[in-house]
Structure 1
Amino acid sequence: MNEVTKQTVLVVDDTPENLDVIAGILKKNYKIRVATNGMKALKLADNASPPDIILLDIMMPEMDGYEVCQELKKNPRTARIPVIFVTAKGDVADETRGFELGAVDYITKPVSPPLVQARVKTHLALYDQERYLDSLVAERTKALEGTRLQIIRRLGRAAEFKDNETGMHVVRMSHYSRIIAEAMGMPEDYCDLLLQSAPMHDIGKIGIPDSILLKPGRLTDDEWVTMRKHPEIGALIIGDHDSELLKMAKIIAQNHHEKFDGSGYPNGLAGTDIPIEARIVAIADVFDALTTERPYKKAWTVEKAIDVIQQDAGSHFDPDLVEIFVQELAKVLEIKEKYAETVESIDDQLQRVVITEDS
């Protein structure tokens, strides 16, 4: 087995002699990384090349092994890495706590080399099988996801046509949202859900009378009361479902007009009480609206739109997300150019809405 194909074992122990023992047992068949404390272990686990398995001591200063395991399982990027506790704490209560925290096995010191080799080999094989099965599921559901994405985006387009908007708005703003989420370090499956659910943000406009939605002039106070009902209408249209995608779509539809300072609607939420998905979509939606020509206005320049969004950081928008959006502006502009408005027919536009990650 060459070095490139070897799986990686992260060994965590505050005693160098113990690290040497475990490394000596496993180094022939695996790449070994070591950490002498919990914080270093978490950093090594949460990087671009994570370990395939972690052997974790319990009795360490500052952050013990139980705390390290808890943090690993809380982080979506490290939660699935198998953890084996290797420790002198051999009481049944200690083992029980370890398994409750998500460890897959428990080895007591002093260790038996054949036992360590066998346990590591077994759990790596199980982890490999789990990942393989996940890949099969992902492959077999790809066509279904494509169909689902098409339906969701067409529903989003239905709301746009009702609102006298045109073109690729839901495509662009959903990609802008994903760019923000990726820059935040969100897991890939979360970013996919956001991309697919964001197009339904304004589905509630279907329930707003045309006399208000298409009014060329300023709305009266009573008309604004009606207009501001569209987030709640959208939430009712989407409804309550077990689907994670529809759960997120409902959250976005209901909350994307909330403002960071609490002055938004429908519930006057403020700060981090506003769901993160809605805070992300708010920026993406407004940027695209400002920089796109609509029947009632000319397109703003990117520079002017960014100035306004930065001025509204902390009032309308989450300031941390605004900073991320500006940092990722080059990627945003690539999407803006790729899915620019055209004079296509509606049918052609709808065909182009069906976008996969391979496109």
Structure 2
Amino acid sequence: MLTQALLVDDSRSVLNFLKRHIEAEGLVEATTFLDPVEALACARERVFDLVLVDYEMPHMDGISFIRVFRTLPGCADIPIGMITSRQTDDLKMEALQAGATDFLPKQPQSVEMTVRLRNLIQLGAAVRKLSDRAAHLASDVAAATRKLGEREEEIILRLALAVEYRDNDTGEHTLRVARYSRIIAEQLDLPARLCRDIYLAAPLHDVGKVAIPDNILLKPGKLTEEEMAVIRTHATIGERILADSSCELIRLGAQIAAGHHERWDGAGYPNGLRADAIPVAARVVAVADVFDALTTRRPYKEPMPLEVARNYLVENKGRQFDPACVEAFLSRWDEVVEIAAGRLDTRSPI
């Protein structure tokens, strides 16, 4: 790829000379402007590898041009040579402080100009290669990070499904809860990243059930008080399984596992947290989990009609549930109905 040079000088003869000279070896393609304002407009739309600008021009001098050019996106490191017949120390210092890289004497046939110009061309090409390499490396890092994230998400989902398959033939409860949770998080206007993370971490809410004996977890009838006490330990167990992970999603899952049975009025378990003391992700999943539990068949009960379950949420907002989470959930009721009926894809939240 040819090095792209931007040449700015109010003298057409100087521009023509510079263009011929800089393109002589076939390594550079030059774009010329008599007007520095027009040159800056072009630089906002195109990428250049090298800039040569005259010092004395109408409308804008070379130093002012350099200052503006350096503020343009991607132009902080592009080599800039200032062409001037004035070689005072004050002028050079001002130009360097503005962002000039080098100075070219306004003596077209001088050896000094030829050497300095060659050095600037080489520097421009080197900066372009470094920039391209940095962009390539950034792309590789982004791809690797994305792949790592996808693997973390898959591990989370499969861990959640492994638990869910113990008391559900399809594991779809876990996936529906994830989608209900995303609806609530989005309607609460939580940050997009947090909505995504709640969506992905929600399936871990019941991971602690892995430690609950089958004779209690799968019991077809009503549980005794002693058995209910054992069931309630799954919240604390889930938190212990997931806590202190280096993975942000799993740490969020620990919050959800620990808090999704807390109640807005403080009467929940395991810690009796109240209102905003309950992490928002746990408050979100509490609504999603209870609604799905009410509306699906379990070993000990038949499913509740959707409208009846809806009324249950309304009646218990401000007591069992965060009122804002209930309102957020109900605001997209048509979508909730589709998910509950299995008409929206519930195969994987990833």
Structure 1 match to 2:315:
311
Distance 1:140 1:317, change over 3 A: same
What is the distance in 2 between the residues matched to 1:261 and 1:137?
46
- 1:253-287 deviation per Cα after TM superposition (whole angstroms, max 9, x unaligned): 11110000000000000000000000000111111
Tell whether 2:273 aligns with 1:269: yes
Counterparts of 1:190 and 1:172, CA distance in 2:
18
Q: Which deviates more from structure 2 when the two are superposed, residues 202-211 or residues 275-284?
A: 202-211
Distance 1:138 1:186 in 2: 25
Q: How many residues align?
A: 243
138 and 261 in structure 1: CA distance in 2 versus 1, 3 angstrom threshold: farther
Report if the CA contact (8 A) 2:156-2:250 is conserved.
no
Report the Cα offset of residue 119 of structure 1: 2.4
- 2:246 is matched with 242
- Aligned equivalents of 1:154 and 1:339: distance in 2? 22
Give the 3-state SS of the residue equivalent to 2:221 in structure 1.
Answer: coil
Of all paired residues, the percent bearing the same amino acid is 41
Match of 2:283 among 279, 285, 307: 279
The residue that corresponds to 1:13 in the other structure is none
Equivalent pair of 1:150/1:354 in contact (CA under 8 Å): no
* Structure 2 match to 1:327: 331
Q: What residue number does 1:45 align with?
A: none
Unaligned runs of 5+ in 1: 1-23, 32-111, 342-351
Separation in 2, partners of 1:136, 1:212:
49
Which residue, out of 184, 192, 197, partners 2:196?
192
Give the Å deviation of 1:123: 8.4
Counterparts of residues 217-232 of structure 1 (less than 5 Å): 217-232=221-236
Determine if contact 1:178/1:194 at 8 Å carries over to the other structure: yes
One of 61, 71, 81 as aligned partner of 1:119: 71
- Between the aligned partners of 2:43 and 2:256, the Cα distance in structure 1 is 45
Q: How far apart, CA to CA, are the structure 1 residues paired with 2:196 and 2:139?
A: 16
Residue 211 of structure 1: how far off its partner (Å): 2.5
Change (3 A) 1:303 1:28: farther
**Aligned-pair CA distance for 1:143:** 4.1
Give the counterpart of 2:154 among 146, 150, 158: 150
Contact conserved, 1:261 with 1:316, CA < 8 A, in 2? Answer: yes
1:212-249 deviation per Cα after TM superposition (whole angstroms, max 9, x unaligned): 22223332222222221111111112231121111101
Aligned partner of 1:159 among 157, 163, 168? 163
Q: Is structure 2 residue 205 aligned with structure 1 residue 253?
A: no
**TM-score, length-scaled by structure 1:** 0.58
Q: Which moved more, 1:175-184 or 1:135-144?
A: 135-144
What letter is aligned with 2:73? K
Which deviates more from structure 2 when the two are superposed, residues 141-150 or residues 278-287?
141-150
- Give the alignment's TM-score, normalised by structure 2: 0.60
Q: 1:118 to 1:282 in 2, by over 3 A?
A: same
1:114 is displaced (CA, Å) by: 5.5
| Cα deviation digits, residues 50-90 of structure 1 (max 9, x gap) | xxxxxxxxxxxxxxxxxxxxxxxxxxxxxxxxxxxxxxxxx
Maintained 8 Å contact 2:199/2:349: no
Supply the AA of the counterpart residue of 1:220.
T
Partner of 1:105: none
Query: Are the equivalent residues in 2 in contact too, given 1:212–1:223 (CA < 8 A)?
Result: yes
Letter in 1 for 2:227: E
Q: 1:120 to 1:325 in 2, by over 3 A?
A: same
